[in-house]
């Protein structure tokens, strides 16, 4: 692909991607290791006619982002662990009221204040289940600076097309490392939220007769509609328990479930004859690939699988590729949050070997390689 070659940090690539996707509103609160995103957008957005605001906290940040999106702007916030915890309630609001928005969480070691400048992947379950109640969400997970650029654009694309919050789950390694990036020239297609085609007096903000993603008007355009986090009918007004609420929840969850195959984004190498499969995501994927290559040099039939879409989880695709595998190794900078998901996907048929890190240090190739060697000894 032709394009401009740049040396960028992950957080910088996120900003480049967001602006290319049409970001027009950013609200955020300073927090390491995501702050560069806010700093860069504070400089760039006003020049591009967009809005940057530093809010009083992360709760206010996500709230302002949702308000801006309802007023018609592509909107985003960025944060890290503690701030992500504070945002959960309003992420649920965006899911319930179907307001497109992008939330970047640059993971750092936790819980609590933890290690503010050190990497971790402890938020992968929180990204899926952090707010109360069943809700649809898509979580994308970059493992390089260039992928951060592309996945940020995808985050806007999916968020707008499905009217859901999309979380870009980066980590401190990817956010702060610098790499060669090719920024493609020309337009990158990004879908926009469907717009109403009926006159205002006929408009229903949650009308599912147009499909499972209802057309979305903007405040101030004359449609005079109501938005609430309460359970609601197609007119947007509150309803009680029963069929209408059941149908609403089914449609909300179905928006992601029915598109699971389109959302899955797997990369693989050496998987054809792999007996030992390394399944990874985020920055440990880099070490995983290196370890697999080193193992191949040693004659071990190791394979590499990486998912860039963490949620929805690629269960079927993983099971399909693991059919010949004798062992699955899952390196992750947490206590094994995705390991359980892998085991569930494989119905506990294949032994899963976790390689975890909880000390705030990044995952190294040698750690993954020793797990591969150990597994090879058992094949």
Partner 1 sequence: MSKFLSYFRVKHLPHIWCPGCGHGTVVGALVRAIDKVGLKKEKTVIVSGIGCSSRAPGYLDFDTLHTTHGRALAFATGVKLSRPELNVIVITGDGDLAAIGGNHLIHAARRNIDITTVCFNNSIYGMTSGQYSPLTPLGSYATTSPYGSLDRPFDLSALVAAAGAPYVGRATTYHVTLLIDLIAEALTIKGFSFVEAITQCPTYFGRKNKMGDAVRMLDYFKENSVNVKALDRLPPEERENKIVIGRLMKKEAPEYAESYLDLVDRLRSQGGDGR
Residues that bind partner 1 (CB under 8 A): 19, 24-25, 27, 44, 46-49, 51, 53, 55-57, 59-61, 63-73, 75, 89-90, 93, 218-230, 237-238
Shortest Cβ 34–partner 1 spacing (Å): 19
Structure tokens at 189: 């297609």
Shortest Cβ 239–partner 1 spacing (Å): 12
How far is 368 from 374, CA to CA, in rounded Å?
A: 10
Shortest Cβ 200–partner 1 spacing (Å): 9
Shortest Cβ 67–partner 1 spacing (Å): 3
Structure tokens at 306: 């990486």
Burial of 293 (C-beta count, 10 Å sphere; 0-12/13-18/19+): middle
DSSP assignment string, 267-309: EEES-TT-SEEEEE-STHHHHHHHHHHHHHHTT--EEEEEESE
Kindly tell me which of 221 and 268 has the beta carbon lying closer to partner 1.
221
Structure tokens at 301: 């039939």
Under DSSP, is residue 141 helix (H, G, I), strand (E, B) or coil?
coil
Kindly tell me which of 38 and 141 has the beta carbon lying closer to partner 1.
38
Kindly tell me which of 220 and 340 has the beta carbon lying closer to partner 1.
220
Shortest Cβ 217–partner 1 spacing (Å): 9
Contact 193, 232 (CB under 8 A): no
**Ramachandran assignment for 158, one of left (phi > 0), alpha (psi -120 to 50 degrees), beta (any other):** alpha
350-356: long-range contacts (C-beta < 8 A, 24 or more apart)? 350/322, 350/325, 350/326, 351/326, 351/327, 352/327, 352/328, 353/327, 353/328, 353/329, 354/329, 354/330, 355/329, 355/330, 355/331, 356/331, 356/332
Shortest Cβ 92–partner 1 spacing (Å): 9
Shortest Cβ 136–partner 1 spacing (Å): 18
- Which of 38-74 are b and which e, b meaning 16 or more Cβ less than 10 Å from the residue's Cβ? bebbeebbeeeebbbbebeebbbbbbbbbbbbbebbb
How far is 52 from 32, CA to CA, in rounded Å?
A: 18
Kindly tell me which of 183 and 266 has the beta carbon lying closer to partner 1.
183
Kindly tell me which of 41 and 302 has the beta carbon lying closer to partner 1.
41
Contact 79, 58 (CB under 8 A): yes
Shortest Cβ 57–partner 1 spacing (Å): 6
Kindly tell me which of 56 and 273 has the beta carbon lying closer to partner 1.
56
Kindly tell me which of 56 and 297 has the beta carbon lying closer to partner 1.
56
Kindly tell me which of 3 and 46 has the beta carbon lying closer to partner 1.
46
Kindly tell me which of 203 and 311 has the beta carbon lying closer to partner 1.
203
Could you tell me how far CA 118 lies from the centroid of its own chain? 20
Shortest Cβ 96–partner 1 spacing (Å): 10
């Amino acid at each position: 692909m032709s394009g401009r070659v740049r040396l960028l940090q992950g957080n910088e690539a996120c900003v480049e991607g967001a602006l290319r996707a049409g970001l027009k509103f950013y609200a955020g609160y300073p927090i390491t290791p995501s702050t560069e995103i806010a700093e860069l957008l504070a400089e760039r957005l006003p020049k591009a006619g967009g809005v940057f605001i530093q809010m009083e906290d992360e709760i206010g940040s996500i709230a302002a982002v949702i308000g801006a999106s309802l007023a018609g702007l592509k909107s985003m916030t960025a944060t890290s662990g503690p701030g992500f915890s504070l945002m959960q309630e309003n992420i649920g609001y965006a899911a319930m009221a179907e307001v497109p928005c992008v939330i970047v969480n640059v993971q750092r070691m936790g819980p609590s204040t933890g290690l503010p400048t050190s990497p971790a992947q402890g938020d992968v379950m929180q990204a899926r289940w952090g707010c109360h109640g069943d809700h649809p969400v898509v979580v994308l997970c970059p493992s390089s600076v260039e992928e951060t650029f592309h996945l940020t654009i995808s985050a806007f694309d999916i968020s707008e097309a499905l009217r859901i919050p999309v979380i870009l789950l980066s980590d401190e390694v990817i956010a702060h490392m610098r790499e060669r990036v090719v920024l493609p020239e020309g337009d990158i297609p990004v879908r926009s939220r469907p717009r109403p085609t009926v006159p205002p007096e006929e408009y229903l903000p949650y009308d599912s007769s147009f499909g499972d993603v209802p057309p979305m008007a903007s405040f101030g355009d004359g449609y005079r509609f109501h938005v609430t986090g309460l359970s609601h009918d197609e007119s947007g007004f509150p309803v009680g328990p029963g069929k209408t609420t059941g149908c609403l929840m089914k449609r909300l969850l179905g928006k992601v479930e029915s598109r699971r195959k389109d959302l899955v984004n797997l990369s693989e190498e050496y998987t054809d004859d792999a007996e030992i499969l390394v399944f990874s995501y985020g920055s440990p994927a880099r070490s995983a690939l290196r370890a697999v290559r080193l193992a191949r040099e040693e004659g071990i039939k190791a394979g590499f699988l990486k998912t860039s879409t963490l949620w929805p989880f690629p269960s079927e695709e993983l099971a399909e590729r693991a059919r010949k595998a004798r062992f699955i190794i899952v390196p992750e900078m947490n206590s094994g949050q995705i390991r359980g998901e892998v085991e569930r996907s494989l119905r506990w048929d294949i032994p899963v070997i976790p390689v975890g890190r909880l000390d705030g240090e990044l995952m190294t190739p040698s750690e993954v390689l020793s797990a591969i060697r150990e597994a090879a000894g058992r094949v």
